[in-house]
A and B are shown apart, each in its own frame.
Chain A
Amino acid sequence: MSSETVAVTLRVNGETTTQMVAPRTHLADLLRGRLGLTGTHLGCEHGVCGACTVFIDGATARACLVLAVQSDGAVVETVEGLTDAADPTLRALQEAFVARNALQCGFCTPGMLATAVELLRETPAPSRAAIRERISGNYCRCTGYHAIVDAIETAALRLAGHEPR
């Protein structure tokens, strides 16, 4: 039974791929194991830590909480793809994260960035409280979050055409 696989076709970072997967395989394992997109990290595999956050059909999702077969036909974007596509929101966030040292070990960072990209697409000038609320599903053990909030705030200002303080 475990060897039964099914074909899944999805568009990942602009490229269409067809993969034979066991139905029990979650999307994060497909991205990491088959496609080598290891920027999507696994921190808990029960949907709590947020490290595997990616975009599915334009909205963030936990890649560990979506079976690969469920994403047949979907458009998936990971940190690698958004980087290569020079997504302006991601770019601004990456610049701010690096400048502000809003990452230490970097394990949470791709998921944190995905969450922040969605926030800034929806809300151009979020308050610090709104930023904290939005990233409250992404666990970071290293930074204490303050620098991440700073960096998202800075990126928002820059995207709005303001020079941050």
Chain B
Amino acid sequence: MPHPPAHAAIDRPNSYIGRSVPRPNARRLVEGRGHFTDDLPTTPRTLHVAFLRSPYPHARIAGLDLAAARALPGVALVATGADIAAVCTPWVGVLTHFAGLKSAPQYPLAIDRAVWLGEPIIAVAATTRAIAEDAIDLIGIDYEELPAVTDIDAALAPGAPVIHPHLGDNLAFRLRLDSGDVDAAFAAAHTVVEDDFHFNRHTPVTLETRSILADYDPATQRLTVCQSTQTPYQMQEVYARHFAIPAANVRVIAGDVGGSFGMKLHVYGDEMATVALSIMLRRPVKFVADRLESFVSDIHARAHRVRARMALAADGSITAMAVDDTTGIGPYSAYPRTSAVEGNQAVRLMGGPYRHRAYRGSLQVVFQNKAMMSQYRAVGHPIACAVTEALVDRAAAALGLDAIDIRRRNLLTDDAYPYTSPTGYVFERLSHHQCLDLLERSCDYAALRRDQQAARQRGVCRGIGIAAFIEITSPGPAFYGVGGAPITAQDGCVMQLDPSGAVRVQVSVTEQGQGTEAIMAQIAASAFGVALDRVRVVTGDTETTPYGGATWASRGAAIGGETVLLTGHALRQQCLALAAAILQTQPQTLDIVDGRVVDAADGQERISVAELARIAYFRPDTLPPGIQPQLVAARNHVPRDQPFAFTNGIQASHVEVDTETGFVRLLGHWVVEDCGRIINPLLVDEQIRGGVVQGIGAALFEECLYSPEGQILNATLADYLVPMAGEIPDIHVAHVETPTLLTQLGAKGAGEAGTAGAAAAVLNAVNDALRPLGAQLSELPLTPQRILAALGRV
């Protein structure tokens, strides 16, 4: 293959790759100088939107009286679904590569019928948000309640109400995978373990809610949208498509984004309606979701019921796995990424870390009258990991094996690569055994087991849970673009040498706090050869940055980083050519190190980069004849050699269960992961830790509680329990580094790893603690009520 060796390009003098440098934008944020969308200055002409949302999971809108709301002073417009639909075409959340996936046309606001509790029905634009809310209170609306489909198992039951009658049934998507002789493996098994697992809905709860400020200028037919989004380029295409504006006339600006985690890349009706109102009213219009409506309008996540079985030989070797996953996605498949990816990845990741070749997976994705469900951090991973790892632990218990031993026996060996999994995933290079060995040392597994024994003597119930995982990162074009989505897998970078000798990097990956800008600066500084403080990174604005995929699915460092690296090399070559012309030598005898052009042989400075820039910009008259200084470089990069950059890792959780109360105390959490080349250890570790805590939330706290009738019961931040500092332990992170050989940078993604395995580790730890008591749980979150029920105490 035509790829250079992985290390050559980055093992340069004064490289910032692999160094824990602080983020340049952190200083601004600690001083309260963020530019979140709601912080942006607005003109007095700006209107604020509030929405009337359906209080029923399924209802026909039987009558509407908008007169009082329209008459309220300060109200500019009260718009119905039909009003908005006049300027915005509907969308359908399907992609062609999910064969058979179906969904119905979705409009920004409900028209005639609302299909989930929280669906926006009426939009009010007013001079203040408070007045818009006053107007909402004045709307008269009559509902005719319709039968609601809530439970995922009921969705396909005979006689179930069909949410979109023209689709025929509530089955959005079905997938069957079959590899190896599964039936024979189960027939020959020494031990079979099985269970029904329930994963209840949770939701991302970014601290900054969804926020958008749309400004349509009818004179030039230009639309400018400031938005809290991960994907400004995707949204540019979406607005162009659905508002019939040339894409070139649409500018989307993502300033500071207060958390996203996959939630802020879906198309939301209320945001589309806000843009529509700006077009209709010809003035700036702003919508900042409040926390209550966020709970019923942000995408929800997970919602799986999985029947799973695992077959093992007498020696503890896993021989087969079979799963049947049903997942509920709400009334529509989300747009433009669909709601099929969660289930698709869950059934393809099942058993992923292990060597067995026989696997059968079946997936049913069903519609229901609940909030929409779609991609959230670690899409599908936690489901696959929890099911697989819970079964592995049960098998270990059945066979009398230790949790570490059974994994060591079954994990893909470190010399097995490249390897194609039974579900069709191709792993370039993974490091399960190195990670397992390091985890065993870093958590001092033997000591934890001794502690467990000693605690049992005292009547204290402690447990240790292990969870190995694989992680999908850095998707290539086969992920969305191939199915017809306006989502690019490539990134672009433009790098300019400024007259001062500083470097400006405009890049299409975006920042939501991961440290994207810091990492891109480190790569640019290293690739070009200047000090980090001489690099300025510009992101998040479709008008000032090259088009690209932006930030999702842990693609920033791997794809965006490679793009910046290639651009930095190109700019370096251009500057070396210029320097060689000035210095009357050959470019290959020169290098750029720490802002100086030096002799490559001995490092002697020949000319500073700042001086080179000064001559190029202000005194080109002094250059040799014919020289045209090239001070801007641009590159694009798209992964062509693999559909995903798979990574792997393993986690351990140490818990204490109060068997009287059902309360779980987390005593410690350990992660070992392998994201390939680490650009900035400080930032990677915090990605891992943040992800772990989202997984702990899923394990112990977070659940969107619905009544059987479809009423949501805990849609406030007081009632929906997010993890807070008091309950979370210190989280110890260690790394194995297996760079991908398919890029010069060697980086893979890291953003999903923490969330992928944390819930499974906690689940296994709690079950490990309870095993001597004969109790076992298979439903998340592990609430005190469920734990006491498992113990037979209530």
Contact = CB atoms under 8 A, between A and B. Distances in A.
A and B touching (Cβ–Cβ under 8 A): yes
B690 A144 contact: yes
**Of listed B74, B724, B726, B727, residue having the most chain A CB within 10 A:** B724
A135 B727 CA distance: 11
Interface in B199-228: 204-209
By size class, the interface of chain A is 35 or more
A80 B31 CA distance: 6
Interface in A106-165: 106-110, 113, 128, 131-133, 135-149
A113 B30 CA distance: 8
Interface string B575-592: 000000000000000000
Interface in B234-282: 256-259, 261
A140 B33 CA distance: 18
Given A44-B717, A49-B207, A101-B515, A106 B34 contact: yes
A30 interface: no
Interface stretch (A33-41, A55-63, A65-73): A33-41
Contact of B690 (A133, A139, A141): A141
Contacts of A104: 259, 512-515, 686, 690
A107 B207 contact: yes
B39 interface: yes
A78 B25 CA distance: 20
Contact of A144 (B30, B36, B692, B718): B692
Contacts of A83: 31-32
A105 B30 contact: no
A141 B130 contact: no
Contacts of A106: 25-26, 28-30, 34, 256, 258, 513
Given A51-B207, A105-B512, A136-B724, A142 B259 contact: yes
B259 A144 contact: no
Nearest to B754: A144
A94 B692 contact: no
A37 B725 CA distance: 27
A132 B291 contact: no
B23 interface: yes
Interface string B24-54: 0111111111101011010000000000000
Nearest to B27: A98
B259 A107 contact: yes
B621 to A, nearest CB: 44
B734 interface: no
Interface in A2-43: 2-3, 22, 24-25, 32, 36-43
Contacts of B725: 131-133, 135-136, 138, 140, 145, 148-149
**Of listed B29, B208, B683, residue having the most chain A CB within 10 A:** B29
Nearest to B28: A106
Contacts of A99: 22
Contact of B38 (A42, A131, A133): A42
A107 B22 contact: no
A80 B728 contact: no
Given A48-B716, A99-B22, A146-B731, A105 B726 contact: no
A154 to B, nearest CB: 13
Contacts of B261: 141
Given A48-B718, A94-B30, A137 B724 contact: yes
A48 B207 contact: no
B656 to A, nearest CB: 15
Contacts of A40: 32
B297 to A, nearest CB: 15
B693 interface: yes
A98 B22 contact: yes
Contact of A101 (B23, B31, B38, B131): B23
**Of listed A48, A80, A138, A145, residue having the most chain B CB within 10 A:** A145
B514 A46 contact: no
A55 to B, nearest CB: 13
A160 B29 CA distance: 25
Contacts of B10: none
Contacts of B691: 144
Interface of A: 2-3, 22, 24-25, 32, 36-46, 48-49, 51, 78-80, 83, 93-94, 97-101, 103-110, 113, 128, 131-133, 135-149
28 contacts: A2-B130, A3-B73, A38-B36, A39-B31, A43-B291, A46-B717, A79-B30, A79-B31, A83-B32, A94-B30, A97-B30, A98-B23, A101-B682, A104-B513, A104-B514, A105-B29, A105-B206, A106-B30, A108-B207, A110-B30, A128-B730, A132-B725, A136-B727, A140-B725, A141-B690, A142-B513, A144-B690, A144-B691
Given A41-B258, A106-B25, A138-B725, 14 more contacts: A2-B74, A44-B717, A45-B291, A78-B32, A79-B30, A79-B31, A97-B30, A98-B23, A99-B22, A101-B682, A104-B259, A105-B259, A136-B726, A145-B728
